[in-house]
Amino acid sequence: MSKLHGNIFTLWLANVPVIVLQGYQAVKEGMTAHAEEVAGRPQNLAFEILTHGRGVMFSNGHLWKQQRRFGLVTMRKMGVGKKDQECQIQEEACHLVEYLRGTNEKVQKELDAVLGSSNVVCYMDRKRLPYTNAVIHEIQRFSNIVLIALPRKTMKDTELLGYPIPKVQAFLVNIDSVLSDPEKWETPDQFNPGHFLDKDGNFVHREAFLPFSIGSRVCMGELLARLELFIVFSTLLRAFKFTLPDGVKEVNTKFVFGSIMKPPPFQLCAVPR
């Protein structure tokens, strides 16, 4: 059962109350107005068995801050966001192309027009490829694989959207509700790259695009994920036209519920261009 207060409500899991934040405004205000106070991770027997209270995803307090700082420094040393890391991802993408040897013709037309005969796609190219960049963002929005972010807890008595919240209160952030918020997206239930394009076809950032969550617990690997998605997606579409096998007219894209959301397996044909 639940007790509703607009986009913030209490969901009772057996005899345990859990607060749920839903929709862009509730998630943004709840996660940023008192970021430190809501940066905790609830502990239970399952988490304790799996992690022993360690790891940047499930630790708390000073230990979490140390591990997060160490993780960010390590990723920077590995070159995340730097040219050498980008070259490694380019090489991986090229290997995929060689092994495979649509999804959208408009993406391919833009890639061909902007990149010409170059076989290498760079992350900086996204600025010259607004439609391709918009398609990648819309794929993440429309086909978001994580509906609910990992649970959090309040580290001290605080306030969320005007409601007093006690210390160690568990709560959930509904990421899917942000990415499909009808107040922020013109056609939330349809795949529409135009969500990220202005009237002149230029790419625009959207404040409600939060697939990596928000606040102090935002995904540490966001930059690396963005870099990989752009380079691998663009490299594959430059090399192949993806079609359904003969006799197949459509695929089942309804998500299968699990630890992450994904459609059932299906086949595609990668035809060299």
Residues annotated within a binding site for heme = 219
- The total of other beta-carbon atoms located within 10 Å of residue 82's CB is 11
Q: Which amino acid is at 39?
A: A
DSSP 271: E
Q: Collapse the DSSP code of 232 into the 3-class scheme (helix H, G, I; strand E, B; otherwise coil) and give the result.
A: helix
Residues 19 and 10: their CA atoms lie apart, in Å, by 4
Per the annotation, binding residues are 219
Residues 256 and 73: their CA atoms lie apart, in Å, by 36
Residue with tokens 């990723």, as numbered in its chain: 75
Residues 132 and 121: their CA atoms lie apart, in Å, by 12
- Proportion of the chain in helix, strand, coil states, percent, rounded to 5: 40, 15, 45
Indicate the helix (H) or strand (E) that contains 236.
helix 222-239
DSSP 54: -
